[in-house]
Amino acid sequence: MSTDLPAWSKVEEIKRQSQFLRGQIAQELAQPTAHFDEATANLLKQHGIYQQDDRDRRGQKGPEGQPQDRAWMMMVRVKVPGGRLTAGQWLTLSELADRFGNRTLRITNRQDVQLHGVLKQHLPALMKALHQVGLTTLGACGDVVRNVVACSAPVPDGGIRDQLYQQAQQVTAHFLPRSRAYQEIWHGTGQATDRPPVPFPQVSQEEEPLYGTNYLPRKFKIGFGLPEDNCVDIYTNDLGFLAVVEGGQIRGYEVLVGGSLGMSPADKTTFAALAQPLAFIRPEQILPVAEAVVKLFRDHGNRANRRRARLKYLIADWGLQRFRQEVERYYGQPLPTPKNISVTGLEHHLGWRRQQNGGWFYGLYVENGRVADRQTGRLKSALEYICQQFGPGIRLTPMMDLLITDLASEDRPKVEAIFRQHGVRLSEEVSLVRQYSGACVALPTCGLAITESERALPGILDELEPELARLGLEGLPLAVRMTGCPNGCGRPYNAEIGLVGRAKDKYALYLGGSPLGNRLGFLYEPMIPRPEIVSLLSSLLEVFVRHRSDSECFGDFCFRIGPEALRRLASNGQDR
Ligand code: SRM
Ligand code: SF4
């Protein structure tokens, strides 16, 4: 590790002093408090747990008008590499959400499942219950390799996606933190000890041979994808492997580096970036190449400023050529040059589809990934019932949808009937714009949210759908991606329409991203009040209808025309 970095960030100090992720977690768990101290809460992220508070209840007064403490609660992120779960695991998650959470499950856009609203005192029982069904939260959050994404659809592809899934599993196992802290604290397999902090900087061969005392400088995201189906949004990963299939075999992988979307508008040195091609490698090179990139990031990533700690900044500061030379140094030999392969398609895998093994799967649209029982539909109960009746596989997609797999032909009408009985809309009944759109969690749980997102997007789409119908565009597969702050969790910057929360009820509008996810959009309007969003979009869609070339999609049109011409054409339209 570099020794010449002057002031490392507070989080680095917390990690260093934590005795490999132990810190004071066990001690504070034993105390009858509603929340953890700041440093412990920070360390808990490395265990897949975020301390939050109910932001709807902030500032509420008690019965005598006295100020109230925050309504503390935890978000627990369950890691699901490649997005595959059994029916039993889903049932457990569903039951745990009722027992310990806010009675909802949230499928994330990295194929994980989040439980929100968990009280501190319930954490030990919840974590044990997850472990009992073979689930973990280790590596779901924190400065390590996060959940590895891969397409989870069991489509008949000669087993290609199964191979990607196996690769995702291997990479997951390879980069799992080795510290016993997680087992000690949550599975009760030992005592959390009060050992002194390891001297800094030092890579401990004993506890964490790969990560060392300080783990990575920041989160690190890896994905496996296919050029013909970019459902994992591969370019937003720090490290992506794009499989090239020829003659039914995976011939190799295009290695992509440096994707990530988070940025802080006030800090002009930060930016969203898509991953760029680094090399073209054989399947057996995946692990050593991934290890070379991760170690390079470990040793040279920015540990002083967390805003500039992602891999993309190292690449931007060094240039791709030097970055490549450094990766080769870690790897031990030159890397084959990339083939500059681009993505050509994207599947949402919704509706009834044949499986590789002859059975059927149903791709169910889940609005913003939220599985709940609401007055408008009891999705959570319907899925529980289906899991009990048919024992299917459950697969999560990076579009926050859910695939119910391994069903027989005769199950199809029964499954549809269950959804109808529970008031759940079938995917086929959902407009294309809704199917393709998505929002991040934001309020009331996310501590970083500036605006609404998950709770706002459905209403915006309610208004947009009739506008699209008016313009004859209801068949347009348009994607609106929304976030409650510029961190970009909902991946708005490479979407055709990106809405990014910037101030109370005000959003920045990004346009011109590619429907395939391989191009960033541009900032069109920095601050639109929420009630004006749909009228602005309608005026832009009118321009699109008048000036699009044959079968051009909205994102490509905006990109071709550019912001100035778009503004001019939109204002001409208003004058007419
Ligand atoms: Fe995210 C932080 C939710 C995908 C970029 N993200 C957060 C936190 C944990 C807020 C916090 O730090 O206190 C959010 C928790 C909200 C809540 O109440 O649940 C949060 N991020 C999510 C999820 C649940 C959004 C969703 O709608 O699905 C996604 C969980 C994925 C998972 O299972 O691991 C999620 N986050 C993303 C993505 C998209 C992706 O990975 O494909 C991004 C953009 C790509 C990237 O990494 O840049 C993303 N999240 C961030 C950032 C900005 C990071 C940066 O480098 O600037 C933050 C803020 C941070 O880390 O400090 C953040
Ligand atoms: Fe929270 Fe911002 Fe991420 Fe949305 S984009 S979940 S508001 S951190």
Give the dihedral of Cα atoms 544, 474, 235, 285; nearest 10 deg.
Answer: -140
Q: How far is the CA of 182 from the centre of ligand 2 (A)?
A: 26
Amino acid identity of residue 330, one-letter, is Y
Q: Which of 151, 387, 440, 558 is catalytic?
A: 440
Q: Which of 219, 295, 324, 395 is catalytic?
A: 219
CA dist 120 and 100 (Å) reads 10
Instruction: Report pLDDT digits (tens) over 409-459.
Output: 999 999 999 999 999 999 999 999 999 999 999 999 999 999 999 999 999
Residue range 519-526: average pLDDT?
A: 98
Residue range 338-365: average pLDDT?
A: 96
What pLDDT sits at residue 158? 96
Tell me the pLDDT band of 200, cut-offs 50, 70 and 90.
Answer: very low
75 Cβ contact partners less than 8 Å away, ≥ 6 residues apart: 49, 50, 52, 114, 115, 116, 118, 445
Tell me the pLDDT band of 3, cut-offs 50, 70 and 90.
Answer: low
- Kindly give the residue spans of alpha helices, DSSP state H, lying in 311-446: 311-318, 320-331, 379-390, 411-421, 432-436
Tell me the pLDDT band of 196, cut-offs 50, 70 and 90.
Answer: very low
Instruction: Report pLDDT digits (tens) over 260-302.
Output: 999 999 999 999 999 999 999 999 999 999 999 999 999 999 9
Tell me the pLDDT band of 190, cut-offs 50, 70 and 90.
Answer: low
Closest ligand 2 atom, CA of 450?
7
Residue with the smallest CA separation from ligand 1 atom 58 is 487
Q: Which of 79, 106, 146, 491 is catalytic?
A: 146
440 is catalytic: yes
Residue with the smallest CA separation from ligand 1 atom 52 is 487
446 is catalytic: yes
Q: How far is the CA of 440 from the centre of ligand 1 (A)?
A: 8
CA dist 192 and 397 (Å) reads 36
Backbone angles phi, psi at 119, to 5 degrees: -80, 150
Residue with the smallest CA separation from ligand 1 atom 38 is 489
Residue 500 belongs to what H/E stretch? Answer: strand 497-503
CA dist 391 and 80 (Å) reads 18
Cβ pair 113, 105 in contact under 8 A: yes
Q: Is the CB of 440 under 6 A from ligand 2?
A: yes
For residue 12, what is the DSSP state? H
Q: Is the CB of 483 under 6 A from ligand 2?
A: yes
Least confident of 97-106, 205-214, 485-494: 205-214
Of 207, 187, 210, 184, which Cα lies nearest the Cα of 197? 207
Instruction: Report pLDDT digits (tens) over 75-91.
Output: 999 999 999 999 999 99
What pLDDT sits at residue 206? 64
Provide the mean pLDDT of the chain.
95
Residue range 33-47: average pLDDT?
A: 98
CA 483 vs CA 92, 433, 497: distances in Å: 29, 17, 11
Instruction: Report pLDDT digits (tens) over 377-394.
Output: 999 999 999 999 999 999
- Outline where DSSP puts E strands in 360-458: 360-364, 370-371, 373-374, 377-378, 393-396, 402-407, 438-439
Q: Candidates 221, 371, 489, 494: which one to mutate for ligand 1, based on the most atoms within 8 Å of Cβ?
A: 489
77 is catalytic: yes
The percent of residues above 90 in pLDDT, for the chain, comes to 92
Of 296, 343, 332, which Cα lies nearest the Cα of 317? 296
Residue with the smallest CA separation from ligand 1 atom 60 is 487
What pLDDT sits at residue 5? 54
Amino acid identity of residue 311, one-letter, is L
Q: Is the CB of 449 under 6 A from ligand 2?
A: yes
Residue 257 belongs to what H/E stretch? Answer: strand 249-257
553 is catalytic: no
146 is catalytic: yes
What pLDDT sits at residue 356? 85
Q: Which of 151, 231, 485, 558 is catalytic?
A: 485
Least confident of 137-151, 178-192, 432-446, 465-479: 178-192
Ligand 1 binding pocket, CB closer than 6 Å: 50, 52, 75, 77, 108-110, 112, 114, 146-147, 221, 233, 236, 260-262, 310, 369, 440-441, 445-448, 487-491
Residue with the smallest CA separation from ligand 2 atom 3 is 489
Q: How far is the CA of 489 from the centre of ligand 1 (A)?
A: 4
Res 195 pLDDT > 50 = no
What pLDDT sits at residue 576? 45
The percent of residues above 70 in pLDDT, for the chain, comes to 95
Res 1 pLDDT > 90 = no
Res 555 pLDDT > 90 = yes
